[in-house]
Amino acid sequence: MRKIIHIDMDCFYAAIEMRDNPELTTVPLAVGGSEKERGVLCTSNYFARKFGVRSAMSTAYAKKLCPDLIVLKPDIEKYKVVAESIRKIFLEYTDIIEPLSLDEAYLDVSHSPKYNGIATLIAKEIRERIFNSERLTASAGIAPNKFLAKIASDWHKPDGQFVIPPDRVGQFILQLPVSKIHGVGKITAQKLESKGIFTCKELQSIAFNDLVEQFGRFGEHLHELCRGIDERPVENCRERKSLSVECTFVQDISDQEGCMQSIHALYEELLARLAKHQELIIHKQFIKIKFSNFQQTTVEASSTEPILELYENLCKKGLTRQDRPVRLLGLGVGFKPDLSKKSTQLELMSP
Ligand code: TTP
Ligand code: MG
Q: Are residues 269 and 219 in the same domain?
A: no
- In a shared domain, residues 115 and 197: no
Q: Are 282 and 244 in contact (CB under 8 A)?
A: no
**207 falls in which pLDDT band (50, 70, 90)?**
very high
- Chain segment 99-158, per-residue pLDDT in tens: 999 999 999 999 998 998 899 999 999 999 999 999 999 999 999 999 999 999 999 999
Cβ neighbour number for residue 44 with a 10 Å cutoff: 28
In this prediction, residues 233-240 reach a mean pLDDT of 81
Q: Does 102 reside within a domain?
A: yes
- Of 72, 90, 115, which closes a domain? 72
Q: For ligand 1, atom 13, which residue shows the shortest CA distance? A: 276
Q: Which residue has the higher pLDDT, 241 or 47?
A: 47
Q: Are residues 254 and 187 in the same domain?
A: no
- pLDDT for position 249: 84
Q: What is the pLDDT of residue 159?
A: 98
27/21 Cα distance (integer angstroms):
11
- Other C-beta atoms within 10 Å of 186: how many? 12
Q: Are residues 62 and 38 in the same domain?
A: yes
Averaged pLDDT for residues 251-256: 92
Measured by CA distance, the residue closest to atom 29 of ligand 1 is 276
- Residue ID of nearest Cα to ligand 1 atom 5: 11
Active-site annotation holds for 104: yes
CB 141 within 8 A of CB 150: yes
CA distance 300 to 267: 15
Q: In the 8-state DSSP scheme, what is residue 343?
A: H
CATH at 202: 1.10.150.20
Residue 333 within any structural domain of the chain:
yes
Q: Give the integer Cα–Cα distance in Å for 301 and 291.
A: 21
Ligand 1 geometric centre to CA of 32 (Å): 11
My answer on whether 108 and 29 are in the same domain is no
Q: How many domains in the chain?
A: 4
Supply the DSSP symbol for 114. Answer: G
Which band of pLDDT confidence, cut at 50, 70 and 90, is reported for residue 346?
Answer: very low
More confident residue, 117 or 330: 330
Residues 252 and 316 in one domain: yes
Q: One of 37, 104, 268, 309 is an active-site residue; which one?
A: 104
Cα angle, residue 176 at apex, residues 170 and 178 outer, rounded to 5°: 120
Please tell me the distance from the alpha carbon of residue 235 to that of residue 106, in angstroms, as a whole number.
9
Q: How far apart are CA 289 and CA 320, in angstroms?
A: 11
Domain match, 334 and 259 both: yes
Structural domain includes residue 208: yes
User: Of 55, 57, 268, which is best to mutate to test ligand 1, by the most ligand atoms within 8 angstroms of its C-beta?
Assistant: 55
Please indicate, yes or no, if residue 67 is contained in any of the structural domains.
Answer: yes
> pTM value?
0.83
* CATH label of the domain that carries residue 66: 3.40.1170.60
Q: Which domain holds residue 183?
A: 171-225
Instruction: Tell me which ligand sits closest to the C-alpha of residue 158.
Output: 1
Whether omega for the bond prior to residue 158 falls within 30 degrees of 0, making it cis, is yes
Q: Is the pLDDT of residue 80 over 50?
A: yes
336/257 same-domain check = yes
Give the residue from 72, 97, 115 where a domain finishes.
Answer: 72
| Residue 58 per-residue DSSP state | B
CATH number at residue 108: 3.30.70.270
pLDDT of residue 343: 44
The reply to whether 233 falls in a domain is no
Residues 247, 205: one domain? no
Q: Each residue of 19-39: pLDDT tens digit? A: 999 999 999 999 999 988 888
Helices (H), 276-338: 308-319
> Is residue 150 in a domain?
yes
24 shares its domain with 53: yes
Complete DSSP assignment for 25-55:
GGS-EEEE--TTTT-BEEEE-HHHHTTT--T
Ligand 1 centre to CA of 112 (Å) is 29
Distance 80 CA to ligand 1 centre (A): 14
pLDDT of res. 279 = 83
* Atom in ligand 1 nearest the alpha carbon of residue 9: 6
In a domain, 236, yes or no: no
Q: What is the pLDDT of residue 72?
A: 98
Can you give the pLDDT at residue 340? 56
DSSP-assigned beta bridge partners for residue 242: 334
Q: Given a cut of 70, is residue 69 above it in pLDDT?
A: yes
Q: What is the mean pLDDT of residues 296-306?
A: 96
Rounded mean pLDDT of 158-180?
Answer: 97
**114-147 burial, b for 16+ CB within 10 Å, e for fewer?**
eeeeebbebbeebbebbeeebebbbbbbbbbbbb
Domain boundary at 165, 184, 208, which? 165
For residues 335 and 241, the answer to whether their CB atoms sit within 8 Å is: yes
247: pLDDT strictly greater than 60? yes
Ligand 1 pocket, residue 79 CB under 6 Å: no
Mean of all residue pLDDT scores within the chain: 92
Distance between CA atoms of residues 61 and 163, nearest Å? 37
CATH number, domain with residue 319 = 3.30.1490.100
pLDDT band at 227 (very low <50, low <70, confident <90, very high): very high
User: Does 157 sit in the ligand 1 pocket, CB within 6 Å?
Assistant: yes
What percent of the chain stands above pLDDT 70? 96
The answer on 319 and 295 residing in a single domain is: yes
Q: Which residues contact 89 (CB under 8 A, 6 or more apart)?
A: 126, 129, 130, 133
Amino acid at 291: F
Indicate the range of 184-198, 286-300, 322-336 predicted with least confidence: 184-198
Residues above pLDDT 90, as percent of the chain: 79
| Co-location of 149 and 119 in the same domain | yes
Asked whether residue 135 is domain-assigned, the answer is: yes
Contacts of 53 (CB under 8 A, 6+ apart): 28, 30, 41, 44, 62, 65, 66, 69
| Ligand 2 centroid distance, CA of 175 (Å) | 24
Please compute Rg for the chain using Cα positions: 21
pLDDT reported for residue 188: 83
What is the CB neighbour count within 10 angstroms for residue 161?
A: 23
Is there an atom of ligand 1 within 6 Å of 24 CB?
Answer: no
Distance in angstroms (rounded) separating the CA atoms of residues 268 and 187: 11
270 versus 216: the higher-pLDDT residue is 270
